[in-house]
A and B are shown apart, each in its own frame.
Chain A
Amino acid sequence: MAKLRVGVVSPEREIWTGEADMVIAKTVDGEIGIMPNHAPVLGVLVEGGVLRVKRGDEGDLVAAVHGGFISVANNDVSILAEAAELGSEVDVARAKDALQRAQASIEADQEDMEARLQAKRAAARLRAAGEEV
């Protein structure tokens, strides 16, 4: 079966490239699963989403992806993230800390959009690292 060529890039660096059987990402319309020979798609990703790249025997690659786009054409999948972090690179203690701080400021001020964003991002990083949130 054909494979997908996947690239996860952020403005400052290329985070991961490789081959995969399936890519699952969360767009603003909902989760989207891409398998080989998928029709060309260009989607907007949600803030604080989790990207899952299924690689068969090698196991899944999980990353926290904050905003950005997914573009699929001719079995090339590019994830353009404003910021992204591989699950294996997440500092769980720091992410938990960030989540708690963000939740505390949300309780203090329900309108604090910045804190809501921070909370979403921290939660995505924890989920990417395999923690329950």
Chain B
Amino acid sequence: MGAQLRQLRRRIRSVRSTAKITRAQELIASSRIVKAQQRMQAAVPYEREITRAVSAVLSNTSNIDHPLTVAKEQPAAAGVLIVTSDRGFAGGYNANILREAEALKAHLVERGLTVKPYVVGRKGLTWHRFRGREMFGEWDGFSDNPSYANAKEIADALIEAFKADNGIDEIHVVYTGFVSMLTQNVIVKRILPLEVEETETPPEGIPPYYEFEPTAADVLDSLLPRYIESRIYNALLQSAASEHAARRRAMKSATDNANELIRVFTQQMNQARQAEITQEISEIVGGANALADAAAGKE
């Protein structure tokens, strides 16, 4: 067998096994998107209720002076929570996040703030370590399937730093918002000092006048951290769904590409084999002719 033929066979074999892996990854990611979407759906009622509760407190108390809602006059440092994935194989997913995080950092530095990164996901951690950047919070191991406890842990660390004297004065979060299977956008948001966002259109008319147990301040005290946890949980869930969607897309194009390569290589291999056969035939014919000529010459 010719050297070229053998080489092509080997390449086809290796591309085929790569295609098997990428195809499997694609299928796994597709099934996980559905689960991640269901988890996002399951979290909606709580988010809606807690947003409503926070707006109820804020609309009932005219002058709120809670540390979590008051912007410092001279902010010195900003915490940036960057949500990346634990594993690669997801196309531009992590690159997009980190690019946006860099843009946000540049913007904050321009405003004269020190930027303190808090990073979720192994990819983001290695990215920061490789560049020798200091991180103030590191979490990994749950990017594809976050639980509320994870969100709570992150929120606790951020709120603690926010309340501390020499901690951070603003908290921003950079994550990937899941719009649909095909569209995911990087979202940059400030979560502290708090700006309550309505998830749906506010109800008509005057908001009801609430009684508070024990007092409005106490309710706000325990409500706001929960609200921030819920925002972070939402960011983690959306990032997880986006990660799977990005991985599915990346793996699909990898599989398509591998199949195309296999097609091209098979064609080349067939050509090489045919060339080899043609050459062998012409050699045999040539040899036979030479023998025949020699025999004719003797007579």
Contacts and interface: CB of A to CB of B under 8 A. Distances in A.
Partners in one complex: yes
Given A11-B230, A73-B208, A42 B46 contact: no
B211 A28 contact: no
A78 B52 CA distance: 10
Nearest to B44: A14
B222 interface: yes
A104 interface: no
B211 A40 contact: yes
B53 to A, nearest CB: 5
Nearest to B53: A71
A105 interface: no
B42 interface: yes
Interface in B193-233: 208-214, 218-219, 222-223, 226, 229-230, 233
B49 interface: yes
Given A11-B230, A27-B213, A78 B49 contact: yes
B148 A11 contact: yes
A80 interface: yes
A11 B233 contact: yes
Interface residues of B, number: 29
Contacts of A29: 213-214
Contacts of A73: 56, 208, 210
Contacts of B219: 42-44, 69
A9 B49 contact: yes
Nearest to A10: B46
Interface string A23-52: 000011100100000011111100000000
B222 to A, nearest CB: 5
The 10 closest A-B pairs by CB, nearest first: A43-B213, A40-B208, A11-B148, A13-B42, A40-B210, A9-B45, A9-B46, A27-B213, A78-B49, A14-B45
22 contacts: A9-B49, A11-B43, A11-B46, A11-B233, A12-B148, A27-B213, A28-B214, A29-B213, A32-B213, A39-B211, A40-B208, A40-B210, A40-B211, A42-B219, A44-B219, A44-B222, A44-B223, A69-B50, A73-B56, A80-B46, A80-B50, A82-B148
